[in-house]
Amino acid sequence: MFIPKQLYEVVLIIPQKYTDKLLLSLGNEKIVQFKEFDERFHQIPSVDFPEIRTNEAVKALMKLDHIIDKLKISEGKPAKASKTPINEANELVDKIEIRYNKIEKSINENQSVFDELDLSVEFLKSIKKIKLKEENLFFLIETEDSVWNDLLKKIKKDNISFSMLKRRISGDKVLRLISIKQTNETKLSKLLNSFKIHSHKGTIKDIEAQIKTVLDSIREKIRTSKRQLEHLPKKYADEIYSLREQIQLELTIMENKRKFLYSEFTSLLNLWITKNDFKKFKECVKKVTNNNFVIYNQYPKIKDNPPTKLSNSLIFKPFEMLLQGFSLPGYRDIDPTFIIALFFPLFFGIMLSDVGYGLLLLILSLFLLVKKKSFKDFAQMLIICAIATIAIGFYFGSWFGFTFIEPQLNPLKKPIELIIISLGIGVFYVNLSLIIGLVQSLIKKDWNFLLHEILIWLIFEFGIIFLIYPKLFRGYTTLPLHIIFIIGPIIVRIFSKGILNILDFSKFFSTMISFVRISALAMSTTWISFAINLIYRLVKQFPKGIYIGIAVLIVGHLFNFAFNTFGSFLQAMRLHYVEFLGQFYQGKGHAMNLFSLEKKYTL
């Protein structure tokens, strides 16, 4: 809880034939992080493992990702594992692409025909006001100018008299409505067939009805094709996500295999593992290799930059996300999560400081916990903050700004006391951070950091105390300790950091004063609540003002709750990131990346 989990650096030698089986077993256990061999092992003769080829897997994965994005395929259900996922993925993507392109081509072609026929209907509607000879026969055709010129020569040659209305629809294409005597029907039909020109013939109403029938048929074809296109992602979702996961796992295995060393018959593995999991690891290796292995383990050196695996109890664990959002502690550094977990809810609760708002936050947090599993840690952290808000709200006697019990501290009536309490918290918390830094520096034997970043401030503080209370050292020494303890750190700071860093001493005091923001937010919440309730009391005195008053209460308190909840969370983060962690925390750790072959989409 106070420091990250203790690790072992392990070198494992096993027969090469057990490598893949061991990786599968360790991937299910999720207890190790493989690492590159350092220069100590570079002299060991080794051969490249012949099966490590990632190009084909990467290409297959890219094709799957492309088809998922293109078809917007949602996550599917777990599917049966494939023996050759890379080959199957390539074949499946090609199959889907062909099917998709075929359907899309059909939709585009039908839509193009539909649009042209729709223009024909509009054309026919536009000429209804024109008086045409009803006894004549009408042909509706669509041709290009060059084709029409050739056709016109044939029509004249066959002595077919006609009249014509036309409309240009696009580029060289023209709609033509040809009117002829019925005796010339056969001649014109033969000519149109010889030019392979499709036509609609009959009366205007007949032609319009024919086109509408065709339009209905094409519209249904387009709908059918679109349904097929919509069904396509659902049809292949399970298989696609399963293959994608299998290839990702294969890549994970391949990438980790690159870190190993190989002889003709053996594999050498270098890894990190927590001390608590080492026994389980040995049992796993023993079982897979039939007790054919050699293992070396040792505590890592800090210069090797081991990874960090935090170790906190359930109540503190949600607050790890705050530390991870800043940076992880280095291996063997003090993990301040437990301190953040104690004081973050306290600061938040004081700043929000209302039982009603605390209950609203609790309800919202429980909803988030139940409905959004991905926000589990955040929801648990909010629940703790909500409980702290309710407890401090009782202390302040505030229920949505109304005083419902005798308050122990009323921010409206005793703001100076609240400010003094905030300053006291600041002095305590900054000194707590310095003490943690002192302990951490002694553990790591980091004497430079101890002197220039920790002791200098503690000594300076004693100088201030001796200056304010000189009686504390009189009778013990005649030396002017207040001068020595104040001037000494200033001189050390100037010589070690430069003359401009003398300003750090004023910043040190501003760090403590910064905690006054706790009282400022608390008073802000209280004053806004008071103002909302005052408006309610004034408004309800008017006829039917009670309804407006209730609306003011609901909207006003929801705004105050949202605004000050966000503000309290943000300011509590700032006090920890800047004022607390800024005094001692170096945060040079990196997370332990456990080797995992966890399956979600594959049976």
Q: Is residue 240 part of a domain?
A: yes
**Which residue stretches of the chain have pLDDT < 50?**
50, 52
Q: Is residue 109 part of a domain?
A: yes
184 and 246 inside one domain: no
203 and 275 inside one domain: no
93 and 126 inside one domain: no
**Hey, is 271 helix, strand or coil?**
strand
Q: How large is the angle between the packed helices 19-29 and 204-257, nearest 10 degrees?
A: 110
Counting Cα atoms < 13 Å in the Cβ hemisphere of 389 gives: 31
482 and 573 inside one domain: yes
User: What tens digit of pLDDT does each residue of 17-72 get?
Assistant: 899 899 999 999 999 999 988 777 666 655 555 454 678 888 888 999 998 898 88
The sign of the dihedral angle between the CA atoms of 336, 340, 343, 347 is positive
* Beta bridge pairs of residue 296: 11
Q: Is residue 245 part of a domain?
A: yes
pLDDT confidence of residue 126 = 79
65 and 138 inside one domain: no
Please state, in angstroms and rounded to a whole number, the distance separating the CA atoms of residues 554 and 551: 5
248 and 212 inside one domain: no
pLDDT confidence of residue 480 = 65
Please state, in angstroms and rounded to a whole number, the distance separating the CA atoms of residues 197 and 187: 14
Q: First and final CA of the chain: distance in angstroms?
A: 37
pLDDT confidence of residue 490 = 78
Q: Is residue 589 part of a domain?
A: no
Tokens 């303890």, residue located: 485
Determine what percent of the chain is predicted with pLDDT higher than 90: 32
397 and 524 inside one domain: yes
Judge contact between 411 and 396, C-beta under 8 A: yes
215 and 233 inside one domain: no
Judge contact between 400 and 354, C-beta under 8 A: yes
pLDDT confidence of residue 158 = 84
User: Residue 130 maps to which CATH number?
Assistant: 3.30.70.120
pLDDT confidence of residue 474 = 60
Residue whose C-alpha is closest to residue 490's, from 504, 479, 477: 504
Instruction: Name the domain count of the chain.
Output: 4
273 and 297 inside one domain: yes
Q: Is residue 98 part of a domain?
A: yes
The sign of the dihedral angle between the CA atoms of 402, 407, 409, 413 is positive
Q: Where are the alpha helices (DSSP H) in 258-354?
A: 278-289, 320-326, 337-352
Q: Is residue 428 part of a domain?
A: yes
Judge contact between 413 and 395, C-beta under 8 A: no
134 and 214 inside one domain: yes
pLDDT confidence of residue 160 = 83
Please state, in angstroms and rounded to a whole number, the distance separating the CA atoms of residues 274 and 5: 6
Tokens 């608590």, residue located: 276
Please state, in angstroms and rounded to a whole number, the distance separating the CA atoms of residues 332 and 2: 9
| 309: phi then psi, degrees, rounded to nearest 5 | -125, 110
Judge contact between 579 and 515, C-beta under 8 A: yes
96 and 132 inside one domain: no
Q: Is residue 409 part of a domain?
A: no
464 and 522 inside one domain: yes
pLDDT confidence of residue 31 = 92
Strand runs (DSSP E) across 339-437, as ranges? 398-399, 402-403
pLDDT confidence of residue 520 = 92
Q: Is residue 2 part of a domain?
A: no
Tell me the residue range of the domain where 459 lies.
317-402+414-584
- pTM to 2 decimal places: 0.73
* Beta bridge pairs of residue 37: none
